[in-house]
């Protein structure tokens, strides 16, 4: 379960050293857009050495590799995949490239006799990928989908706006594909780091559609994103009431029961369990 994922350029030693200081649920070590072509090899070697020396505790360690339509992405994989990371983030993801990544990871894990299975977060940032998103979400290892609105807007030949009207349908398609496969729906970053009110508004809207996490491009965004995507106190209290009433109903062999005058069915019980699980995980 995730709320916030923070992008960190892999060619900046100072930011790498502070990766576990921030309160993000996951850190995305970026080898792609944040790194100039001339610096990619140095960034890869720096990140590889950093991960060997600093385990970073419980924060999820995600690496955004270069796309697999060039040799750079495969070099990233053979260098960086180890038990020191948790997830690979795949840019310009397609059904074909995501399936290929899953196969490559299996071969690397087997050869290196790794103890863990690396997850995949495809970035949905092409018009064709939006059309394939339901299939991409089903591929083995995929445990989240990230909407990449900036590149998607370019592909759609539209202006990226504050309102986000141009990505409304794409957001919904990513959400539906993620929820149908019980994986994370991760919203696109809010790129104006000087507008905290805009970040909160954008995050609240994304959550209202069904997103359960959001990527961040600056540490200053993390607290707002965590707050928005955490269960509210009222939600936690109601979930506790639902689960307590459910236990009573089970003991009394009741097939149906109500809480605060509202009939409770299986989906509401499952939602209550998930809310309590999140509240415990994030110490709420």
Reduce the DSSP state of residue 148 to 3 states and report it: coil
Q: Which two tokens stand for residue 175?
A: 């959400």
Query: Residue 213 and residue 137: Cα distance in Å, rounded?
Result: 16
pLDDT tens per residue across span 131-152: 999 999 999 999 999 999 999 9
- Report the relative pairing of strands 213-216 and 4-9 from DSSP bridges: parallel
Query: Residue 250 and residue 255: Cα distance in Å, rounded?
Result: 8
Q: What is the mean pLDDT of residues 211-232?
A: 96
> Nearest to residue 97, comparing CAs of 142, 62, 32, 60?
142
- Same domain membership, residue 67 and residue 48: yes
Place of tokens 């269960």: 231
- Report the relative pairing of strands 262-264 and 257-259 from DSSP bridges: antiparallel
pLDDT tens per residue across span 166-209: 999 999 999 999 999 999 999 999 999 999 999 999 999 999 99
Query: Residue 49 and residue 219: Cα distance in Å, rounded?
Result: 23
- Same domain membership, residue 262 and residue 184: no
Domain boundary among 212, 229, 246: 229
- Same domain membership, residue 246 and residue 196: no
pLDDT tens per residue across span 256-282: 788 888 888 888 999 999 999 999 988
CB distance 119 to 142 below 8 Å: yes
- Same domain membership, residue 273 and residue 164: no
CB distance 118 to 148 below 8 Å: no
CB distance 2 to 26 below 8 Å: yes
Total domains in the fold of the chain: 2
Task: Return the number of other C-beta atoms located less than 10 Å from residue 165's C-beta.
Answer: 9
Task: Return the number of other C-beta atoms located less than 10 Å from residue 202's C-beta.
Answer: 24
Place of tokens 């809480």: 259
Residue 255 has pLDDT above 80, yes or no: no
- Same domain membership, residue 131 and residue 45: yes
- Same domain membership, residue 240 and residue 188: no
Strand partners, 263: 258
- What pLDDT sits at residue 19? 86
Q: Which two tokens stand for residue 243?
A: 């689960």
- Same domain membership, residue 267 and residue 219: no
> Nearest to residue 200, comparing CAs of 164, 229, 232?
229
CA 146 from centre of chain: 6
Q: What is the mean pLDDT of residues 87-99?
A: 97
Q: What is the mean pLDDT of residues 213-239?
A: 95
- Same domain membership, residue 261 and residue 165: no
- Same domain membership, residue 277 and residue 161: no
Question: Could you tell me the CATH number of the domain that includes residue 127?
Answer: 3.20.20.60
Range of the domain at 268: 233-281
- Same domain membership, residue 132 and residue 237: no
- Same domain membership, residue 148 and residue 225: yes
> Nearest to residue 90, comparing CAs of 116, 54, 126?
126
- Same domain membership, residue 108 and residue 87: yes
- What pLDDT sits at residue 272? 92
Supply the pTM of this predicted model: 0.93
């Amino acid at each position: 379960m995730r709320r916030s994922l923070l992008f960190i350029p892999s060619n900046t030693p100072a930011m790498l050293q502070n990766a576990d200081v921030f309160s993000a649920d996951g850190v995305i070590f970026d080898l792609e857009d944040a790194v100039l072509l001339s610096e990619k090899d140095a960034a890869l070697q720096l990140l590889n050495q950093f991960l060997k020396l600093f385990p970073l505790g419980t924060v999820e360690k995600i690496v955004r590799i270069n796309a697999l339509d060039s040799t750079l992405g495969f070099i990233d994989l053979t260098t960086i995949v180890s038990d020191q990371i948790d997830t690979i983030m795949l840019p310009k993801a397609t059904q074909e490239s995501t399936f290929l990544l899953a196969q490559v990871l299996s071969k690397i894990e087997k050869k290196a006799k790794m103890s863990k299975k690396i997850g995949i977060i495809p970035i949905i940032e092409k018009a064709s990928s939006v059309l394939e998103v339901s299939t991409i979400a089903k591929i083995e290892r995929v445990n989240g989908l990230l909407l990449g609105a900036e590149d998607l807007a370019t592909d759609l030949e539209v202006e990226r706006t504050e309102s986000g009207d141009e990505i409304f349908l794409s957001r919904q398609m990513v959400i539906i594909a993620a929820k149908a496969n019980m994986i994370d729906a991760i919203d696109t970053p809010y790129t104006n780091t000087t507008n905290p009110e805009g970040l909160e508004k954008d995050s609240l809207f994304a959550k209202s559609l069904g997103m359960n996490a959001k990527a961040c491009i600056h540490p200053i965004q993390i607290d707002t994103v965590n707050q928005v995507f955490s269960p509210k106190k009222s939600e936690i209290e109601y979930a506790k009431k639902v689960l307590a009433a459910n236990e009573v109903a089970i003991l009394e062999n009741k097939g149906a029961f109500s809480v605060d005058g509202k009939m409770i069915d299986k989906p509401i019980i499952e939602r209550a369990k998930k809310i309590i699980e999140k509240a415990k995980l994030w110490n709420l």
